[in-house]
Chain A
Amino acid sequence: MFTENPALLGLMTIVIGVGACLGYFFFSNVILDKVIFPAKGPNAGRNINRANMIRPWLFLFPALFGLTLYLAYPVFETLRLSLTDRDLGGAFVGFENYRKMMNEDKFWEAVRNNLLWLVVVPAASTAFGLLAAQLTDRIRWGNFAKSLIFMPMAISFVGASVIFKLIYDTRPADQNQIGVLNAVWLKFDGGIGSIFTLQLVPTLLLIGFVGIVGYVLWTFVRDFTAGGRNRSVWLLPLQLVMAIGGLWLIWLSIGSIVDIWVTELPYGQPQTWLTISFWNNFFLMVVLIWIQTGFAMVILSAALRGIPEETVEAAIVDGANPFQIFFKIKVPQIMGTIVVVWTTITLTVLKIFDIVFAMTNGQWETQVLANYMYDKLFRASDWGIGSASAIVIMLLVTPILVWNVYNARKEMR
């Protein structure tokens, strides 16, 4: 039978599906022009005009139908489901599901982790992407390098999870470690080398990081206090958020520097990285950062190339050093693109599911909202709470949605 063989079945649907699509568009047009409003006889002119008023809707119909049924309707249906209880035959229960959800530790853990992801992943991806874009734009084999950094974009979250699980793999202490992380880790024994690479170098890196963040922050504050210039209302909250984020990052970094020198590291013991709570979140984030950096790099590199060369040359003539050129001339000019990249990655992060599902499935305090939701929907079969958590994700997305629509409408005018 045809239906037994997936390849044949696939082929058949392609033929039938695509054929039906094309057939729909072709024949609906023919019917409109030949049967309903024929361009002949006394009413030819009026008929043609009428046909042309209907035609756009013929072209749009399948797409609109799909969008309405598969994206618009579910938003409202999910909202409805989140207010009902399946076990009570779908009775309306108000905010009961939300209340139950809020009482669960797992939910708050997911919210906390999602926020952590939300801060770290877009920031790190954009930063790495910007770095890669800036560096590769200046060398001859840059395009080749870019293509390799961009490559993880093609790899599924699941594939990437396998790749990184191999990196985080742990073997008993008496065997050869086959995970790179543990193999490297076991090279450290607490001697001078370890102190140098695990304490001194990270400290210096962190100090450098604090320096950069502080510098950027300082320029902001200076711009701000200089004030007086007419700036967009939208920029203000953005700058405020950035300032708070920057301070938080500095605080975090200083804390980490202290930690580095205080904590006793368990030298010589292989670690099961994915079970170290709190830090395991970061090991999961690395996977997404690894994937998204290429995306950020490609877009930012195009933006960097779009910067008029004259502005950079003017800055060189004015005596700016490479860092000043980068932070004061280039970055401000591509700020719009950075925001776009940031929001796009933010959207991905809000929906992140596969990585957590494949690597830890939310154990060891790595739960995130999307996986929490999946858990509720398909394991606990609790549609109420599942829908409620979906609505939480939707709420988190809404500001971006509004902002996008606002921009699109502005552009249309």
Chain B
Amino acid sequence: MARIAGKKSRLTWAVHISVALLVVAWLFPTVGLFVSSFRTADQISGSGWWAALFPAEQNEVYRTGDPDDDRVAVGDMFEVKGNIFEGEPRNISSWGVSSRDVSAFAPGETADMGDGETLTLADDGAYVWRGTDDQISGRGQRIFVTALVPPKFSLENYRTILFSGTGQDNMAKAFFNTLTVTIPATIIPIVVAAFAAYALAWMEFPGRALLIAAIVGLLVVPLQLALIPLLRLHLAIGIGKGYMGVWLAHTAFGMPLAIYLLRNYMVGLPRDIIENAKVDGATDFQIFTRIIVPLSFPALASFAIFQFLWTWNDLLVAKVFLIDATGSTTVMTNQIVELLGTRGGNWEILATAAFVSIAVPLAVFFAMQRYLVRGLLAGSVK
């Protein structure tokens, strides 16, 4: 379109700006979570995450050195000298010596604390505290500082969530549980569906058209309907709640889409190739493994991604078929929902937990986006 004569460039700019706005709007929520996961609890509740990217004014409390150790006699007075920042200098905008007025003085000024007791603070944090024997004793003097703090991020939250946390704050187990659910629940349906799709695409038998129609129908059956009958079934045949049940459920629930996607793809493979393989002496099983599977790789990959994302992100199926009263088989989505209930205000935990759970799908997404798009197109546009 840009090639066409007489087009205004103003419109192009409008397009660029609109797209940029859209992208920012869509990215903003996730970035918020991501940034928050690297901030401490105090930082999170102190300011919005968007402020974390810039240096911020922050109130801090320090103490001078302990008089018992550090004071030296200067004439009949005593002095404690030192630097409150201890090698990590920052710019002080104001300071004070009492919690009632934390910004009473500018850097370099001297605070008079009565009876000749004084404290001088330079803007690099160096201080001099001077007074009588009596005054310079006990604990160190408190100094309230308002300083410009550079952005600071830590991996502390991740350490808690993944390793050191206890109880609900530790996601390591849930992470592995999720993996345990996801991987078999992704691979098994692919194998089963691929064979079925091959039969529906390339083998002649009565009732084939009807079966395909039935699968298209099952494609939209809400899995809500399956919950009770299947839970009852699982309890009745002894599978109960557990991995076995959730694998079976995910396998079956993914089956219509898997068969549909794979069949549509396989039907498009050239008939000649398959017939040639027959002439070459391949059995149906060999045609499937040696010809169909390698050639259907794109379709297999797109379904694998769908199923992976779906099982990884699933909450309902896990809650119904997997997680029992002990909670030892909890998955990440479930644990996050529980955290939302119990630790609703602890954003450092919540944000980190959520980010741990979405990191893997995001990685898969960016690595395999091509196949995901292809699968989506195959699944919904004809």
Contacts and interface: CB of A to CB of B under 8 A. Distances in A.
- Direct chain A–B contact by Cβ atoms under 8 Å: yes
B282 interface: no
B219 interface: yes
B49 interface: yes
Interface string A1-33: 000001101100110011001100110010001
Given A154-B358, A347-B220, A70 B284 contact: no
B132 interface: no
A336 to B, nearest CB: 8
Contact of A178 (B226, B229, B248, B347): B347
Contacts of A341: 380
B225 A390 contact: yes
B235 interface: no
Contact of A351 (B183, B222, B247): B222
Contacts of A298: 373, 376-377
Contacts of A299: 376-377, 380-381
A370 B224 CA distance: 7
Given A71-B256, A178-B44, A386 B228 contact: yes
B179 A7 contact: yes
B105 interface: no
Interface in B1-59: 1-2, 4, 11-12, 15-16, 18-20, 22-23, 26-30, 32-33, 36, 44-50
Nearest to B350: A162
A88 B47 CA distance: 57
Interface stretch (A164-172, A201-209, A224-232, A261-269): A164-172
B118 interface: no
Contact of B313 (A25, A159, A377): A159
B304 interface: no
A18 B252 CA distance: 15
A387 B226 contact: no
A401 interface: yes
Given A17-B188, A71-B256, A78-B228, A404 B340 contact: no
Contacts of B44: 178
Interface in A159-196: 159-167, 169, 171, 175-180, 183
Given A73-B229, A151-B365, A178-B347, A397 B381 contact: no
Given A29-B285, A151-B30, A162-B354, A408 B315 contact: no
B336 A62 contact: no
A135 B22 contact: yes
A70 B183 contact: no
Given A70-B249, A176-B48, A394-B221, A62 B192 contact: yes
B184 A13 contact: yes
B239 interface: no
A322 B253 contact: no
B362 interface: yes
Given A70-B230, A178-B347, A158 B315 contact: yes
Given A59-B198, A70-B253, A163 B354 contact: yes
Interface in A77-122: 77-78, 81
A55 B247 CA distance: 26
Contacts of B314: 156
B274 interface: no
Interface in A257-311: 290, 293-295, 298-299, 302-303
Nearest to B340: A358
Chain B contact-residue range equals 35 or more
Most chain B CB inside 10 Å of its own CB: which residue of A18, A71, A167: A71
Contacts of B214: 67, 72
B145 interface: no
B309 interface: yes
A180 B48 CA distance: 7
Interface stretch (B62-70, B75-83, B136-144, B199-207): B199-207
B337 interface: yes
Contacts of A55: 199, 203, 284
Interface stretch (A138-146, A212-220, A242-250): A138-146
A57 interface: yes
A66 B15 CA distance: 49
A128 B30 CA distance: 18
A233 interface: no
A138 B1 contact: yes
B360 to A, nearest CB: 9
B18 A135 contact: yes
Contacts of A383: 228
A383 B196 CA distance: 34
A358 B340 CA distance: 7
A71 B218 contact: yes
A290 B29 CA distance: 10
Interface in B92-107: none
Contact of B48 (A13, A29, A154, A183): A183
Given A63-B255, A401-B220, A337 B381 contact: yes
B273 interface: no
A239 interface: no
B209 interface: yes
Contact of B222 (A151, A165, A294, A390): A390
B41 to A, nearest CB: 11
B227 interface: yes
A162 B33 contact: yes
Given A21-B188, A53-B205, A354 B309 contact: no
Contacts of A294: 26
A353 B353 CA distance: 21
A57 B12 CA distance: 58
B358 to A, nearest CB: 4
Interface of A: 6-7, 9-10, 13-14, 17-18, 21-22, 25-26, 29, 33, 52-53, 55-57, 59-60, 62-64, 66-67, 69-75, 77-78, 81, 128, 131-132, 135-136, 138-139, 141-142, 145, 147-167, 169, 171, 175-180, 183, 290, 293-295, 298-299, 302-303, 312, 316, 322, 337, 340-341, 344, 347, 350-351, 353-354, 357-359, 370, 373-374, 377-378, 383, 386-387, 390-391, 393-394, 397, 400-401, 404-405, 408-409, 411-412
14 contacts: A10-B179, A17-B188, A18-B184, A56-B204, A60-B195, A75-B221, A75-B225, A135-B18, A139-B15, A151-B26, A152-B30, A162-B351, A293-B26, A351-B222
Interface of B: 1-2, 4, 11-12, 15-16, 18-20, 22-23, 26-30, 32-33, 36, 44-50, 173, 176-177, 179-180, 183-184, 187-188, 191-193, 195-196, 198-200, 203-205, 208-209, 211-230, 233, 243, 247-249, 251-253, 255-256, 259, 283-285, 309, 312-316, 319-320, 329, 333, 336-337, 340, 347, 350-351, 353-354, 357-358, 361-362, 364-366, 369, 372-373, 376-377, 380-382
Given A72-B218, A151-B27, 15 more contacts: A7-B180, A17-B247, A18-B187, A25-B285, A66-B192, A77-B228, A145-B22, A153-B309, A156-B313, A163-B32, A178-B49, A302-B377, A358-B340, A408-B212, A408-B216
